[in-house]
Structure 1
């Protein structure tokens, strides 16, 4: 069994989809206690990205103890591709628990234009701190230097390593990645050396290929006659553009009422009214999109409040109408929704595209769930005009 640990549900789904593509039966779990599923790969979502670094480290140490009891053949730590979250503290917690002295960290996904060149993180040709990621509400990119993005090191050193360099014998080593060839070179080192592999989904792909596993991707077709509910909690500019494009194509987009952005006396009534609008749309159309649709306050408590509200809305809708497919973008949003619905274990069904992954909760009465990170695109053409066939 392969054990993988991710800090949010969209990342867990992403690497789960990669493993499924390679023919590995894969489960994604949000709680290891009382684990029901058995598979070739167990992906654990620790839901720790929004925690403080000390608390995140403690949670990862507990998860490591639970994972050790499952006796994995090897482990992989999935991190955010642009290094958001408590990457340093979580790597140390897992690394120490499993007896590693060094970790090779390759977060970048070059197929998505995310590269590390000479220790500097680029998105396309832009420094990462000059992109949308500089405005992330919880983990803004304040520099482009990968060592700086990881924060001040404590017990483990952090080194930026070029392709032509030898790998240091200790600490966290962040490798340069420009293309698949670079990923393959680093993956070959992990396979033959005792190195803790840490990174994004494309590094995992390279490792699986170096283990001589073969890809077997499945064709996917969107079922337009199904009831499809889309929940978008992402606040990125690219996400807002995608929602606007969907609306222009004639799809129903129902934004969160501005009144629900703040606590007030009639909150339950406002939430019920919003849910009734969603239910009415689903009664008349196969696709409905729910989004925040409001300027986001800079108050630190607002992201969690928005996620909780989207979770409550989803629960009301699903309690009053069966749907076939629940689509969610944004790991934090998906986490709040799944927590509200009480779904803890999932069978990975299909990787639609890198990072866009369909799963089935163990509760067979539940709809299929497809999740993607907020910064990733939906498959092209998925939101067709209402008149299109």
Structure 2
């Protein structure tokens, strides 16, 4: 069995989609039990949204439970642009696994995310000039790797594929093209904690002899369909605006709910009634938040609360969510903990069956990725 720990839900689901692509049986869970017979077990956490001390405690416990399952490979899925408590969590994993060395390869040239000369680039531009500069939790102000990881230069090594790796410590692997991922995968061994983005994980599977199938599944989504947008990326907001302009109603969070720290049940019920009515009449509805600066965690909690109320009021067959923290808040509110991935619709966009609710499919994607056309083609 291969075990993966991810620091957010959409990252976990992205790894699950890669597992499908390489012919593995896959399960995504939010808690680690003792019974599993899949090829790939992906543990989805929400530690990126936690304070660092809580995140480290959570990752320590999960790593210990996974170690008891004796996986052939333990991989840590980090954010590809290094948001979150990356170094602290890697040190926690390494301590439990008794690894002296960690190889972190976060970049993914297929998504035009590269690391060269100690600098991170998105589509050829320094990352601090991208939308990641406006991330509500981990805004990027510099493109230098030490800055992204919030550490001093002596705390990590930054190496190319031609370098001899240090015997200890955390090594960040530079990566400018897909062939670099393959070279890093060839340097992997069972005495090193392996971590990074989805591109590195796919390269590790190929190095182990797994063969990729065609990426992208044609799936017909059922109705009623509810899409929840919980991201600040402008491309996603433009996508929502286009849906609205096409005639589908988009229900933006009412301003009085945004402004109140603890909106009353009646306000949430009224909003849920509006969304449920859209699902009943149009079979499709979108929940989104206008571009308002406020506490991100509070908005996620309000969004999750109204989604639960919508589920109580009407049937939902397909739940689509963009944004890992929003997705984690919603599945926690709905008490969903185990999922079976069934379709990789496109890179990072994965459709799953909710184990506890047989008639519900959940499709997730990171906020910075795009929805495939099949998701909302009419």
TM-score between both structures, scaled by the size of structure 2: 0.95
- The offset of 1:250, in angstroms, is 2.1
Q: For residues 79 and 54 of structure 1, what CA distance do their matches in structure 2 show?
A: 17
- The offset of 1:196, in angstroms, is 1.5
Q: Which runs of 5+ in 2 are unaligned?
A: none
> Partner of 2:360 in structure 1?
367
Aligned length: 378
> Partner of 2:101 in structure 1?
102
- The offset of 1:105, in angstroms, is 0.8
What does the per-residue CA deviation read over 1:274-323, in whole Å, with 9 as the maximum and x for residues that have no partner? 111111111111321110124122xxxx2111111111111111122222
Q: For residues 21 and 263 of structure 2, what CA distance do their matches in structure 1 show?
A: 47
CA contact (8 A) 1:133 1:140 kept: yes
> Partner of 1:178 in structure 2?
176
The correspondence for 1:168, drawn from 163, 166, 172, is: 166
- The offset of 1:153, in angstroms, is 5.4
- The offset of 1:141, in angstroms, is 1.2
Q: For residues 143 and 50 of structure 1, what CA distance do their matches in structure 2 show?
A: 21
1:266–1:188 CA distance, 2 compared to 1 (3 A): closer
What does the per-residue CA deviation read over 1:190-248, in whole Å, with 9 as the maximum and x for residues that have no partner? 1x563221000011000100111011247533426522110001122222111112222
The secondary structure found in structure 1 opposite 2:370 is: coil
1:294-373 matches, cutoff 5 A: 294-297=291-294, 302-373=295-366
The secondary structure found in structure 1 opposite 2:76 is: strand
What is the aligned-residue RMSD (CA, Å)?
A: 1.9
Q: For residues 144 and 78 of structure 2, what CA distance do their matches in structure 1 show?
A: 17
CA contact (8 A) 1:10 1:372 kept: yes
- The offset of 1:142, in angstroms, is 2.3
Query: Is 1:146 aligned with 2:145?
Result: yes
Query: Is 1:207 aligned with 2:234?
Result: no
Query: Is 1:125 aligned with 2:118?
Result: no
What does the per-residue CA deviation read over 1:64-120, in whole Å, with 9 as the maximum and x for residues that have no partner? 111111111110000001100000001110011111111111111211111111110
> Partner of 1:15 in structure 2?
15
1:1-389 matches, cutoff 5 A: 1-32=1-32, 34=33, 37-152=36-151, 157-190=155-188, 192=189, 194-217=191-214, 220-223=217-220, 226-263=223-260, 267-297=264-294, 302-380=295-373, 382-385=375-378
Q: For residues 107 and 101 of structure 1, what CA distance do their matches in structure 2 show?
A: 19
- The offset of 1:37, in angstroms, is 4.5
CA contact (8 A) 2:221 2:375 kept: no
- The offset of 1:27, in angstroms, is 0.8
- The offset of 1:366, in angstroms, is 4.4
CA contact (8 A) 2:215 2:347 kept: no
What does the per-residue CA deviation read over 1:132-182, in whole Å, with 9 as the maximum and x for residues that have no partner? 11111111112111122112259x930111232222221111111112111
TM-score between both structures, scaled by the size of structure 1: 0.92
The secondary structure found in structure 2 opposite 1:24 is: coil
Q: For residues 162 and 222 of structure 2, what CA distance do their matches in structure 1 show?
A: 53
Q: Which runs of 5+ in 1 are unaligned?
A: none
Q: For residues 265 and 56 of structure 1, what CA distance do their matches in structure 2 show?
A: 26
CA contact (8 A) 1:147 1:160 kept: no
